[in-house]
Structures are given as structure tokens and as C-alpha cells.
Amino acid sequence: MSEGKKTKFVTTGRNKEWTQGAVNPPVQRASSIIFDSVSAKNHATINRAGKTLFYGRRGTNTHFAFQEAMTDIEGGAGCALYPCGTAAITNAILSFVSSGDHILMVDTCYEPTRDFCEKIMKKMGVETTYYDPMIGKEIESLIQPNTKILFTESPGSITMEVQDIPTLSRIAHAHDIIVILDNTWAAGVNFSPFEHGVDISVQAATKYIVGHSDVMLGTAVANEKCWDQLREQSYLMGQCVSPDDAYLGLRGIRTLDVRLRQHAQSSLKIARWLAERPEVDHVRHPALETCPGHTYFQRDFTGGNGLFSFVLKTSHPRATTALLDHMQHFSMGYSWGGFESLILANEPKSFDALRTVAHPHFTGTLIRIHIGLEDTDDLIADLEAGFQRYQAVLDSLSDE
């Protein structure tokens, strides 16, 4: 019997085999798994890659439950677990490249993804070409005979460009190139990677999957074509997570869909309020027309979340500092995807180090916010007070 999408978040990963009759699976801690007989040991050895207790590094029932749930949600053939999102990204890449290969990397990738290419891939003889997130079918001109991976992230980190994943995937596949997507923003829920041509969908489960800002966790769900290689190569690189963290990832899934819908509703309201502010040049929220790639968002995504950016008309670090200091509900902090609101600023100059081809076309300060589950009225009041502090600094400067 097929299930509705909401029902799936409740039922997935709850086989009796994993739960032992409780609602949730127990946290099963194990390094050694012990066998009653030679034949039981042989059975486990033969089936060690397929959710069978074998040795702790291959996972326990707690891990199997979480992996099954992730695969159910995203739609692939299997899910590998990593101690953080960055490990998921680097292992997904490492599992498929050899010395002499070439990677096409979106210019708006998460900063450590770029650093990995520059500081580790390069010294192993793997070259990276960065491409504009809005390149579309022109990607073909950047493909080399040795191109192995097309890496995408949509929307892009900080500047939020939504990519045309189906077009990019179609062209990549025509050249036998593997498509990897950093699917953290959609949380595996609001963008179906495999229906849009992706081969491996990576997530910082640290963000919305866990959802409570208290666990580091990474996942990579692969299609049939890539699953065996991803699983075995990641295993060889020693990638595994604690059962407690897998448990918390699975628990996050139970409320993932409702949390995302609330984050999305609140963030859209605040994005629209920001768009009307005199201090704001434009808002980069995928659900608004002023976000690059908005039409792809409308075409390919089924919902949003709490993370977006807006650009101020001016760049004045002292005024920005006045805005950011003394916020009541927005905390300054890296990461996002928890229940709480966050805020960070990027002066336009900071993009010099973060971009090589898609340099931003704006000149004001970019502010990235994560809208948590607080009342939107409280958050708007907080931003309004911040804008007053910001304007006060600008006014005092024009008096000088």
C-alpha cells in the first residue's frame, strides 16, 4: 500500500526488526557483534553490506533504521552515514575520482567544499573548474574528457542561486559524468534529487534532519548506479557515526516536514517584509522573484524553509555591526536548520575569496538569516530595532 508523504515521515524506519516492539528503535551500541555458529558468522559476512549485524563500523539496527528512513525520503538505493556534512561531501567525491580526473564545481558551493578541492584534491592530481550556478546548458563547454564529477548545490551557499539541475544532469549524463548534489537546503524533502537526474544526494544532516542544533551528522543517498561504490569506498575510509547520533537523526525526521513548513511560512512572511524596507536593495529568497533561479525553484521544489539572504543598499561595516549587536532573538552563529533564528553578515569584499567566476553583482552588505520557530512578530520587531541602530550609525556619519 502506498503512503501519503506526511505518513511516510511517521512510519519510515520503524520495522519491528529495528524497533523491537517500541515506537522508536533502541540505541544499539556495538563494536563487536557475536555469532552463535559458524554458519551465522558466514551469513553475516556475506550480507554485511545489507543491513545485517556484522561489525560496529558497518552499523547497528539504530543505524539501519536511520539509513532506511533517509533512503525512503530521498528515493535512492541506499544511504551512507558520515560524522558531518563535510565528510559526506568529501567522501562522495573521493569515492569516484582518481588522479588525473577533473571536477566541475559550482562556484557558490559551501566554502569547505571549495577548500577541499583546492587543498586536497589538487595535491592528489585532481583539477577543479568552477562554474557559474546559472550556467545552464553552457556547462557543456566546460566538460573535459577527464571530467568525472559535476558537483551542484542548490540554492547556492550564502547567495542562494537556484540551479537548473535537470538540464545540468542531462548534459552530464550524456558525457558519463556523475552528478552530486548538496541537497542540505531542501533537506531531502522539498527537492527530489533522483527525479531530477542526480546520482548522489549529500546532506549536512546537522541542519534540518537533526533540526535541534545539537548533533553533527552527514548523509549521502545514492542511486543504484553509484550505491555499491559509494558505500564500499566510504567504508574503507572508515566513515561511521555513533548510534546516538543516528538515533537523533531519525528522531528529527519525525517532525521534519512540519518543521520545514513552519520555517517556510515564517521566512516568506519576513522576506516579504524585508523587501519593503527602505534599507534593503533586494531579497534573495528562492520563493521570491528577486532570487536568481526563482523560476527553477517554482518548477522543481515543493516547498521552502527558513534560510535566505537579503542585500542592503549600502556596505558600511560599522552600521552593520550596530545592526547585528544587541539582537534579542537572532543569534550570530554559523550553521542553520535548528529551531532558533540566526543572522550573519557578509560584506561584498568577502566574496573575493569565496567566488572565482560568479562574483556578486551587488555592492551592499549581504545578510543571511535563518528564520526559526519563534513568533514572526518578535523576529520582525528584532529586525526593525536592528535597522534603527543601523540607520543611526549612517545618520551620524553623514553629520560628521
Ligand X SMILES: *Cc1c(COP(=O)(O)O)cnc(C)c1O
Task: List, by residue number, the catalytic residues.
Answer: 57, 110, 182, 207
- Strand residues in the chain grouped as ranges (E): 78-82, 102-106, 127-131, 147-153, 178-182, 200-204, 218-222, 280-284, 307-312, 342-346, 366-370
204 makes contact with ligand X (CB under 6 A): yes
Residue of 213, 220, 249 whose CA lies nearest to 25: 249
Under DSSP, is residue 294 helix (H, G, I), strand (E, B) or coil? helix
Site string for ligand X, 60-99 (x = CB under 6 A): ------------------------xxx-------------
Helix H segments across 175-242? Answer: 224-236
Count other Cβ atoms within 10 Å, centred on residue 278.
7
Smallest separation (angstroms) from ligand X to the CB of 335? 6
Question: Exactly one of 13, 218, 249, 372 binds ligand X (CB under 6 A); which one?
Answer: 218
Q: Are 365 and 315 in contact (CB under 8 A)?
A: yes
Residues 283-342 that bind ligand X (CB under 6 A): 335
CB-nearer residue toward ligand X: 171 or 250 = 250
44 makes contact with ligand X (CB under 6 A): no
187 makes contact with ligand X (CB under 6 A): no
Question: Exactly one of 216, 275, 380, 393 binds ligand X (CB under 6 A); which one?
Answer: 216
CB-nearer residue toward ligand X: 61 or 203 = 203
Residue 59's alpha-carbon distances to 46, 197, 222, 271, 282, in angstroms, are 15, 29, 18, 42, 47
Q: Are 301 and 286 in contact (CB under 8 A)?
A: yes
CB-nearer residue toward ligand X: 182 or 199 = 182
184 makes contact with ligand X (CB under 6 A): yes
Radius of gyration of the chain (CA): 22
Torsion region of 149: left, alpha or beta (phi above 0 gives left; psi -120 to 50 gives alpha): beta
Question: Exactly one of 72, 74, 161, 182 binds ligand X (CB under 6 A); which one?
Answer: 182
Residue 215's alpha-carbon distances to 108, 263, 376, in angstroms, are 25, 20, 26
Site string for ligand X, 101-130 (x = CB under 6 A): ---------x--------------------
State how far the Cα of 261 lies from the Cα of 53, in Å rounded to an integer: 36
CB-nearer residue toward ligand X: 103 or 204 = 204
Task: Candidates 119-127, 199-207, 322-330, 341-349: pick the segment binding ligand X (CB under 6 A).
Answer: 199-207
Smallest separation (angstroms) from ligand X to the CB of 391? 31
CB-nearer residue toward ligand X: 209 or 280 = 209
Binding site for ligand X (CB under 6 A): 84-86, 110, 153, 157, 182, 184, 204, 206-207, 216, 218, 335
